[in-house]
Amino acid sequence: MERCGFSGREKTEAIASVWEHKGMDGKESTPSGVWRILDASLNRASEGLRTIEEYARFVLGDPQLSEQLKQLRHQTATAAEGMPRLQLLAARDTPGDVGTAIETPTETERVDALAVAIAAAARVQQSLRCLEEYGKIVDSGIGRAFEACRYRSYTLFATLEQLSQRRDRLADCQLYVLVDGGDSIEAMTVTIAELAEAGADLIQLRDKRLNDRELYEHAAAAAATLRPSRCLFIVNDRPDIAAAVHADGVHVGQDELPATVVRQIIGPERLLGVSTHCVAQVEQAVSDGADYIGCGPTFPSGTKSFEAFPGTDFLRDAAATTTLPAFAIGGIGAENLAYVIEAGFSRVAVAGAITRSESPAAMVTELKQRLLRQDESTNR
């Protein structure tokens, strides 16, 4: 066409006129307005998907979700290959778009990064629906391709929002206290209420002495006691009991059910913690969808026995491996907390140093104050 004297724009318009006269499946005269809708919707969907992917990648730091969102972005681009790009470009008329001057008050306000992602998700789903419906005018296969993208987006965006909410619950948590069932349910509830009042952020019930019925009864009482407070309640090893008593979450070790199976039991709303003893286990926990990890054992402990102690070297390696909330655990108390902090951690899980002290509540307060004084840039 250039040899016949056509400019680049004239060539584009000439090709576009052919597509407008007869569509891909023989339909006559696809209106230019339809092409404009498809072009605008594709742009909105692509931009929105990138916005959401960046949130999953840089704010949540979740590799699995980031990869799934990237796949959806590429799936959408593949679906768009069914529409001639030159036709879309020829129909584009941004200066003549009456919608560019229409604004609502909420468009210019976003309270946080999650709000940005949620707004982008809504735009993506609306745009995919437009692409699906108007794409049918061009070719029925285009509509089906975008329909598949839309349904996939529902699952991914729900996962993203649920993950964000779980991470938000852990954002300010620094002191994690492990307790047993005590001498009685009544004694246990008094203890955990005092610990929560003193500043404990999470309390985990771990007691191998109790049978299933006893553990359930203790867990139900603990959950009811802590529910009015800001302190989260976690059940050790037993996702079934955590779900039954409506606990905030469950924590499992390397010898318990796999994290992926635990998630199926507790659902998307509860927290899932995993114990790790090496970098490979940290990476696996992240891949399996853990919300937080325990890293240790850091020092010898009277609570559990281990053949080896990864120590503070492992804490440094873990801190360099993931941005997932991570709690140092194992023999940690007031006398060695500084070593944990020097290793890059400002979150700790403590058992005996608190529960066996003369004043557990006072020890909670002391440890919490020392953690709060740490550099805010240390987000472990």
Regarding whether 143 and 206 lie in a shared domain, the answer is no
Is 211 annotated as contributing to ligand binding? no
d(CA 312, CA 322) in angstroms, rounded, equals 16
Is 7 annotated as contributing to ligand binding? no
Regarding whether 339 and 364 lie in a shared domain, the answer is yes
Is 302 annotated as contributing to ligand binding? yes
| CA angle 40–44–50, rounded 5-degree value | 145
- 175-193 in b/e form (b: 16+ CB < 10 A) is bbbbbbbbeebeebbebbb
Is 256 annotated as contributing to ligand binding? yes
Is 136 annotated as contributing to ligand binding? no
| CA angle 56–62–64, rounded 5-degree value | 105
CA distances from 296 to 174, 195, 206, 314, 316 (A): 16, 23, 17, 7, 11
d(CA 272, CA 259) in angstroms, rounded, equals 8
Quick one: CA dihedral 89, 94, 99, 102, positive or negative? positive
Question: Whats the size of the chain, residue-wise?
Answer: 380
CATH of the domain at 14: 1.20.1260
Domain for residue 124, yes or no?
yes
Chain-centroid distance, C-alpha 73 = 18
Is 204 annotated as contributing to ligand binding? yes
Is 189 annotated as contributing to ligand binding? no
Domain for residue 279, yes or no?
yes
Domain for residue 378, yes or no?
no
Domain for residue 377, yes or no?
no
Q: Write down the pLDDT at residue 101.
A: 64
Structural domain containing residue 330: 172-372
Regarding whether 347 and 228 lie in a shared domain, the answer is yes
The label of the residue with tokens 């307060």 reads: 365
Q: Write down the pLDDT at residue 6.
A: 45
Q: Write down the pLDDT at residue 212.
A: 98
Domain for residue 245, yes or no?
yes
With CA atoms as reference, report the closest residue to 77 among 119, 128, 123, 20. 128
Is 303 annotated as contributing to ligand binding? yes
- 317-355 in b/e form (b: 16+ CB < 10 A) is bbbebbebbbbbbbbbbeeebebbbebbbbbbbbbebbb
Q: Write down the pLDDT at residue 110.
A: 74
Regarding whether 157 and 13 lie in a shared domain, the answer is yes
Is 132 annotated as contributing to ligand binding? no
Domain for residue 102, yes or no?
yes
Pairing verdict, β 271-276 and 348-350: unpaired
DSSP bridge partners of 349: 176, 329
Q: Write down the pLDDT at residue 18.
A: 43
Last residue of one domain, picked from the residues 111, 141, 167: 167
Token digits for 57? Answer: 């990648």
Regarding whether 75 and 14 lie in a shared domain, the answer is yes
107: DSSP letter: G
Regarding whether 179 and 103 lie in a shared domain, the answer is no
d(CA 376, CA 380) in angstroms, rounded, equals 10
DSSP bridge partners of 250: 235, 272
Residue ranges in the chain whose pLDDT is less than 70: 1-29, 97-103, 105-108, 302-307, 375-380
Regarding whether 154 and 178 lie in a shared domain, the answer is no
Give 63-108 pLDDT, tens digit per residue. 889 999 999 999 999 999 999 988 888 878 777 766 666 667 666 6
Regarding whether 156 and 40 lie in a shared domain, the answer is yes
| CA angle 131–133–138, rounded 5-degree value | 80
Regarding whether 206 and 179 lie in a shared domain, the answer is yes
- Cβ-contact 203, 196 below 8 angstroms: yes
Give 288-304 pLDDT, tens digit per residue. 999 999 999 999 876 66
Last residue of one domain, picked from the residues 135, 167, 199: 167
Instruction: Cis check for the bond before 300: say yes or no (omega within 30 of 0).
Output: no
- 213-240 in b/e form (b: 16+ CB < 10 A) is eebbebbbbbbebbeeeebbbbbbbbbe
Is 287 annotated as contributing to ligand binding? no
Type of residue at 182: G
DSSP bridge partners of 272: 250
Type of residue at 318: A
- For the chain, give me the number of helices (H) and strands (E)? 15, 8
